Amino acid sequence: MPELPDITLYVEHLARRLTGARLTDARVRGPNLLRTADPPLDAALGRAVTGVRRLGKRIVFELDGGLFLVLHLMIAGRLHWADAGPAARPAKGARPATPAARAGRAPLAQFEFTTGTLSLTEAGTKKRAGLWLVRGEAGLAALDPGGIEPLTATPAEFAARLALESHTLKRALTDPRLFSGIGNAYSDEILHRAGLSPLRLTRQLTDAEARRLNAAVRDTLTEWTARLREETGEGFPEGVTAFRPEMAVHGRFRKPCPTCGTAIQRIAYAANEVNYCPRCQTEGRLLADRGLSRLLREDWPKTIEELEEGRAGVARAGAAPRQVRQAPRQVSRSPRSGSS
């Protein structure tokens, strides 16, 4: 799912291309995409874009007359841009020029502006992206989950949000009611930088640990936003992904931790996963889940040393033992990370 750094990049590029432009046409093909009926989508046509902003993980297009067009990309939604002009409108039968069309993805929606065409695609069969047209700041506020902005919140505000409820750090960071714009990928990176277990309970944190986590949130999100800006340059961001080789732990199961070299471990659940370094974050302990670890019981490795000894034993024997000593994919219940 595009998170704060990705959405920030989208907002910056859209603002440069759309501020002052008029929306001349809007075509929605996804049957479940449009979530509002009043005002109708046609009410946005002919209106000028006065600004673009981020609301959590949503992109907000400010239109004159007090209307707001709000887009939530969810997990697999992506945006594509084509400048206005002959190149954006190929002749009949010619190969389409837009990035979305070239990739073979039929857009769920297309928005024609006087400066170009914005297309929305969504990979996979589950179409979860949402589009809203609302009136006024009050209508926009109704879509706000209420999380504080992690880059502008004070340390005291950050600590207070953590202490509101007793959750795991992973769940708390990804809860949109608590913190705005943080999802599965960057929460992994934040917790690795802070040296904290993703399953540590929020109310167990010391003041020093809460400050360390707050600093990790700011540093991780700021650094990745700057990195994405540099990678994208002046072109529209077409490579938005939750998995990047430069990440420390997210999506790097069994690869070496960049800090200590230990193999990254994970707990997988539904469409998400928790990635962590046992030595940097959990004092060498492997995090047990509620499924496989109960099944294996005494054969479940409790520490990274036991896991590595088990693998070494398998290598020496030249074959896998009957009892599984490693955790290739740990399946657990979801920490119920937020997606709004």
Local confidence pLDDT in tens for the 340 residues of the chain: 899 999 999 999 999 999 999 999 999 998 899 999 999 999 999 999 999 999 999 999 999 999 999 999 999 999 999 999 765 544 444 344 455 554 456 899 999 999 999 999 998 888 899 999 999 999 999 999 999 999 999 999 999 999 999 999 999 999 999 999 999 999 999 999 999 999 999 999 999 999 999 999 999 999 999 999 999 999 999 989 989 999 999 999 999 999 999 999 998 876 678 999 999 999 999 987 655 444 444 444 555 655 455 444 444 445 444 444 444 444 444 455 455 6
Residues 133 and 159 in one domain: no
Last-in-domain residue among 205, 232, 259 = 232
Task: List the domain range (segments joined by +) for residue 130.
Answer: 4-141
Residue 335 lies in a domain: no
Residues 135 and 165 in one domain: no
Residues 161 and 130 in one domain: no
Find where tokens 């949109």 sit.
Answer: 176
- Alpha-carbon distance of 168 to 170, in angstroms, equals 5
Residues 84 and 165 in one domain: no
Residues 56 and 179 in one domain: no
Q: pTM here?
A: 0.83
Residue 318 lies in a domain: no
Residue 214 lies in a domain: yes
Residue 338 lies in a domain: no
How many domains, the chain? Answer: 2
Residue 331 lies in a domain: no
Residues 174 and 102 in one domain: no
Is the separation of the CB atoms in 60 and 68 below 8 Å?
Answer: yes
Is the separation of the CB atoms in 173 and 190 below 8 Å?
Answer: yes
Residues 15 and 132 in one domain: yes
Residues 127 and 10 in one domain: yes
Residue 217 lies in a domain: yes
